[in-house]
Structure formats: structure tokens, C-alpha cells
């Protein structure tokens, strides 16, 4: 199991763990979908998502992406289903009638940041880690809603620069540009405090606010098709393979021009 769940009062805390590197996987996504099913029926009134081992969700497993990209026949047969499925999962966080707060205490990039960007409120811990969408440095592009959600949060200009360059930023910079709402010495405790405050409010009002703010899904189909086209590139496969052949402790440097 990749997710562990506890409850304190009206707040559910779900912690993601996939040691040693904290990569997201198809299995972890399926588990999260099942958890959302449970949360929809629960009388809990707020959710906190967090990570373990000093990470949030580092990014989606590049090993799984390579396996997808190298099986050309399956890729053409599946088409955009990989992106479509991830889009559908993350949109469930937006349609969940309870507030979702992300407590980000470590690396949060690629698919991990895409998940965090669908949370209603993001709290980052002060520390030496990175947030961003570095996919272009792997020869690909964001395929799990990143091109759309980052524009929603930062505006077209800043989002375009970050995605085109694969820029990843410190928690302090993420807070300064509005990628996260709060910066804290203890992201989890601050997220629980915020979630408890939200849980004290009228749940029908919260649910309807979220429904009114839900981003349109029409733009995501463009991203899904563009991601599929990128995955057809031999250069993408070669670049991702260089990444997974890099020692785990050096992989952030592979993505990060700050190191």
C-alpha cells in the first residue's frame, strides 16, 4: 500500500509513501481513487494530503513512462488513456465536496505537483527541496494537467516560462510566486490547522464553492494529445533512460539548475 490514512476529529490525513524516492505510480493512483470513493461517503469534513521520507510526491515514475513509451503498439492502442485517466483522478479532488489541503514537506514535481495543484490549499514547509514541472528536461512535457493548472495558478506568462524551461523552485520562491498559499516551519501541522478551520464551516457551502470553481475539462484534451505525441519521440525515451540510469541521489541535480 502506498497510502496510509488516519483521522483526527473531522479531518482525514492521507500520507503517501513509496521509498526510497517517493515516485507516484499507476498502483498509487488506483489506491487514491479508492480512497476518494471512501471520502465521498465519509462524514469527515476535510482532507489533508501529505508525504513521507522527507518528500511529498517527487514525480510520476519515469520507469513506468519509459515502459509505456517503448511499447509502441500498446501506446498507439491506448492513445491518450494514460493522461485521460490521470486527469480524471485529479479532477475528482476538485469535485470532492470536502476541502483538500496539501502539506508539502519535500520534493513535489511533475505528476506530484499536478496532484498538489488540484488541492484547494497548498502549504509548503521551509527547506531544501523543489517544486515545479521539469518534464522538458526529460525530453517530454507535462501530461497530467500541468500545462493547464499552472496557467490557472500563475497566469499564462509565468507558467509558460516555467514549463518551457523546466524550472523548479524552492519553497520560498514557490510561495513568492503564488504556487503555494502558505509557507511554514511545519507544513503538516499548519495544513491540519487550516483543514480543521475549513471543517468548521458549512459543508454545503464548501461543496458548492468547489463546484463553482472547478476548472473546465475541455482544455485537458489538448494536453493529452500533445503528451502522447511527445512520448512517440525517440529523444524522449533516450533522455528519460539517462535519467533513470543516474544515481538516485543525483537525480534532482539532473533536473535542477540551482544545484
Give Cβ neighbours of residue 39 (< 8 Å, ≥ 6 apart): 12, 47, 96, 98
Helix ranges (DSSP H) in 130-170: 146-154, 156-165
**CB contact at 8 A, 53 and 27:** no
Of 159, 187, 3, 193, the C-alpha closest to 89 is 3
**CB contact at 8 A, 117 and 146:** yes
For the annotated catalytic residues, the residue numbers are 114, 135
Q: Would you give the DSSP letter of residue 24? A: B
Angle between helices 81-95 and 220-231 in degrees, nearest 10:
150
Give strand pairing partners of 24: 60
Amino acid at each position: 500500500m502506498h497510502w496510509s490514512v488516519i483521522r483526527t476529529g473531522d479531518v482525514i490525513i492521507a500520507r503517501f509513501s513509496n521509498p526510497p524516492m517517493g515516485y507516484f505510480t499507476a498502483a498509487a493512483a488506483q489506491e487514491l481513487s479508492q480512497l476518494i470513493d471512501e471520502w465521498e461517503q465519509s462524514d469527515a469534513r476535510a482532507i489533508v494530503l501529505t508525504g513521507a521520507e522527507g518528500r511529498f510526491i517527487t514525480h510520476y515514475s519515469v520507469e513506468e513512462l519509459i515502459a509505456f513509451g517503448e511499447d509502441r503498439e500498446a501506446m498507439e492502442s491506448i492513445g491518450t488513456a494514460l493522461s485521460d485517466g490521470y486527469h480524471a483522478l485529479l479532477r475528482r479532488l476538485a469535485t470532492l465536496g470536502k476541502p483538500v489541503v496539501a502539506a508539502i514537506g519535500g520534493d513535489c514535481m511533475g505528476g506530484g505537483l499536478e496532484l498538489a495543484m488540484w488541492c484547494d490549499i497548498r502549504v509548503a514547509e521551509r527547506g531544501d527541496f523543489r517544486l515545479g514541472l521539469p518534464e522538458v528536461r526529460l525530453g517530454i512535457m507535462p501530461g497530467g494537467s500541468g500545462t493547464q493548472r499552472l496557467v490557472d495558478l500563475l497566469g499564462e506568462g509565468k507558467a509558460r516560462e516555467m514549463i518551457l524551461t523546466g524550472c523548479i523552485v524552492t519553497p520560498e520562491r514557490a510561495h513568492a510566486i503564488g504556487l503555494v498559499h502558505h509557507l511554514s516551519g511545519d507544513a503538516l501541522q499548519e495544513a491540519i490547522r487550516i483543514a480543521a478551520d475549513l471543517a468548521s464551516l458549512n459543508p454545503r457551502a464548501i461543496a458548492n464553492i468547489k463546484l463553482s470553481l472547478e476548472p473546465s475539462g475541455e482544455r485537458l484534451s489538448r494536453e493529452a494529445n500533445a503528451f502522447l505525441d511527445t512520448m512517440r519521440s525517440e529523444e524522449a525515451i533516450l533522455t528519460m533512460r539517462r535519467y533513470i540510469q543516474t544515481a538516485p541521489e543525483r537525480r534532482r541535480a539532473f533536473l535542477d539548475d540551482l544545484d
